[in-house]
Amino acid sequence: MPIVSHSTYTCSPVLFNGHLQTILPVLIRRVRKVEYERERINTPDNDFLDLDWRRKGSRRLAVLSHGLEGDSKQPYVVGMVHALTNRGWDALAWNARGCSGEPNRVLRFTHSGATEDLHTVVCHVMAAYNYSELALIGFSLGGNITLKYLGERKPDPRIKAAVAFSVPCDLECSSVRLAKPENRIYMLRFLTTLRKKIRALARSMPGKIDDRGYNQLRNFKDFDDRYTAPIHGFKNAEDYWRKSSCKPFLKGISVPTLLINARNDPFLAEGCYPSKEAAENPYLHLETPTYGGHVGFVCFNKDREYWSETRAAHFLKKELPAT
């Protein structure tokens, strides 16, 4: 039953493939600006995380986790903030390490398995604010963190539901897919922006990290072998992918969770569509629309709300009816 057999998403004929559906929202979407309130919190390892709030005075809070090289200002994050706050929720978009505009204090950065940072955010919210219900929403890398977090530990009972979009549930097969020639445009973009993070860390921590020979890196395996794995305590890229993929943790999810991965997502391979795991877990709802691209799901309407935002709000309303 948790496998959604029919998705309501339909795509404009103008956006005829997954690449257009992925790239066009980045280039053309204009979302009304959100006036965030920023809060900085400390982490257990003496670092910091920047949280961006949009409050409506609700007892319900949605915690949003962005994708790789994203931040709280990405159109897909801001669009979701608008969709949920318009429906009475408070929203918190947290910025992963190195993504809020300045380098962090310790030698590390965001990675797909960094559930400890999401846990720090959730624990802070629970201790400092009077929310009765929380929903977790994640995109791409942030979706992987969200699902892994829910599956690897017993969540706080106030976490009532979750929604994740375009999730590389199997990091290895997703990395292999992104290394293919047809996806070179995405790989080049990621490697370029990641290099800026490496250089920023090198300036603040001379002698601990550098970008010498960076031009030789061609894909995520090269990057993860050189940086992600050794910095964060993994043996190599394969060890990092294996331990950080959310797919083995899906069986442990115990709150209503909607996972939406488009079938034409250029970032995802077959291992990222966990139909077996969804069939065996009554809490995990898997929806695989034919179209949508990667964090795309473009929808043209007078409200300028994308289908992903409407769908997330509908799922939360269904699972958490107003009291």
Q: Domain residues of the chain, as ranges?
A: 3-173+247-319
Residue whose entry in the numeric block shows the structure tokens 């020639």: 181
Query: What is this structure's pTM?
Result: 0.96
CB atoms within 10 A of CB 158: 14
Within 245-306, residue ranges assigned H as helices are: 275-280
Strands (E), the chain: 3-4, 37-42, 48-54, 60-65, 90-95, 133-139, 159-165, 257-260, 284-287
Task: Pick the closest to residue 92 from 72, 65, 134, 63 (CA basis).
Answer: 63
Catalytic annotation, residues: 140, 265, 294
State the DSSP H helix or E strand holding residue 313, giving kind and residue range, or none if neither. Answer: helix 307-319
Residue whose entry in the numeric block shows the structure tokens 């391979």: 269
Q: Which fold has domain 3-173+247-319?
A: Rossmann fold (3.40.50)
| pLDDT in 10s for each residue of the chain, 323 residues | 477 878 889 888 888 899 999 998 888 888 999 999 999 999 999 999 999 999 999 999 999 999 999 999 999 999 999 999 999 999 999 999 999 988 889 999 889 999 999 999 999 999 999 999 999 999 999 999 999 999 999 889 999 999 999 999 999 999 999 999 999 999 999 999 999 999 999 999 999 999 999 999 999 999 999 999 999 999 999 999 999 999 999 999 999 999 999 999 999 999 999 999 999 999 999 999 999 999 999 988 877 899 999 999 999 999 998 74
User: For 156, which DSSP code?
Assistant: -
